[in-house]
């Protein structure tokens, strides 16, 4: 099914504020098995000049993905979310996410195309503090796989 081209270029209202908690960062770092002390230990992080512990690089997906998936679920877009897989992902950082940050996400649809029956939606999410400081931009492509032929 072709995706609704009217979504391309559309920006969505800023997300609710995401409050970055120390324990959430530690929980995430533990879940990915990353014991780098700057993700766990306040003294180690401040020794490197950070105000608090910082988050592992891919933590940004926790902040941005909700904004992107809420767009993807819009019935007017025409994406079959039950067949969605993650196609590609990129993060461009101004600085690491830090405990205590209050972050707001603004999502924009960059492209919506169909390749070999697969619907591909590319979205950008700009993550900034409530004070307007840019922290990270995430670029995500999600793919709704074409329905398979019987028996394949």
Partner 1 sequence: MTPAFADVEVGYELPAQSFPITRADLVRYCGASGDFNIIHWNERVATSVGLPNVIAHGMFTMAEAVRVVTDWLGDPGALLDYGCRFTRPVVVPDDDNGATLTVSAKITEKRDDNTVVITISASCDDSTVLGKAQAVVRLP
Q: Residue 100's CB: how many other CB atoms inside 10 A?
A: 13
Q: Binding string, 83-122, against partner 1, x = CB under 8 A?
A: x-xxxxxxxxx-xx--------------------------
- Spatial separation of the C-alpha atoms in residues 48 and 94, rounded to whole Å: 16
Q: Binding string, 8-47, against partner 1, x = CB under 8 A?
A: -------------------xx-xxxxx-x-xx--------
Q: Which is nearer to partner 1, 4 or 52 (CB)?
A: 52
User: Least distance from C-beta 6 to partner 1, angstroms?
Assistant: 27
User: Least distance from C-beta 61 to partner 1, angstroms?
Assistant: 5
- Spatial separation of the C-alpha atoms in residues 94 and 108, rounded to whole Å: 19
Compute the residue count for the chain: 152
Residue 6 touching partner 1 (CB under 8 A) = no
- Spatial separation of the C-alpha atoms in residues 2 and 88, rounded to whole Å: 20
How many Å is the Cα radius of gyration of the chain?
A: 18
Residues 119-145: b if buried by 16+ CB within 10 A, e if exposed = bbbbbbbbbbbeeeeebbbbbbbbbbe
Q: Binding string, 121-140, against partner 1, x = CB under 8 A?
A: ------------------x-
Residue 67 touching partner 1 (CB under 8 A) = no
Give contact residues for partner 1 (rule: CB under 8 A): 27-28, 30-34, 36, 38-39, 48, 50, 54, 56-58, 61-62, 65, 83, 85-93, 95-96, 139, 148
């Amino acid at each position: 099914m072709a995706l609704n081209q009217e979504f391309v270029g559309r920006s969505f209202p800023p997300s609710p504020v995401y409050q970055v908690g120390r324990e959430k960062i530690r929980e995430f770092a533990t879940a990915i098995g990353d014991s780098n002390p700057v993700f766990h230990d306040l003294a180690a992080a401040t020794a490197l000049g950070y105000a608090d512990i910082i988050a592992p690089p891919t933590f940004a997906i926790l902040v941005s993905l909700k904004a992107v998936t809420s767009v993807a679920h819009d019935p007017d877009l025409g994406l079959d979310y039950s067949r969605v897989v993650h196609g590609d992902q990129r993060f461009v950082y101004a600085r690491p996410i830090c405990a205590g940050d209050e972050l707001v996400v603004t999502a924009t649809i960059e492209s919506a195309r169909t390749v070999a029956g697969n619907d591909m939606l590319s979205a950008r999410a700009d993550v900034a503090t409530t004070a307007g400081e840019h922290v990270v931009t995430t670029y995500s492509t999600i793919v709704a796989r074409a329905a398979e032929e019987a028996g394949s």
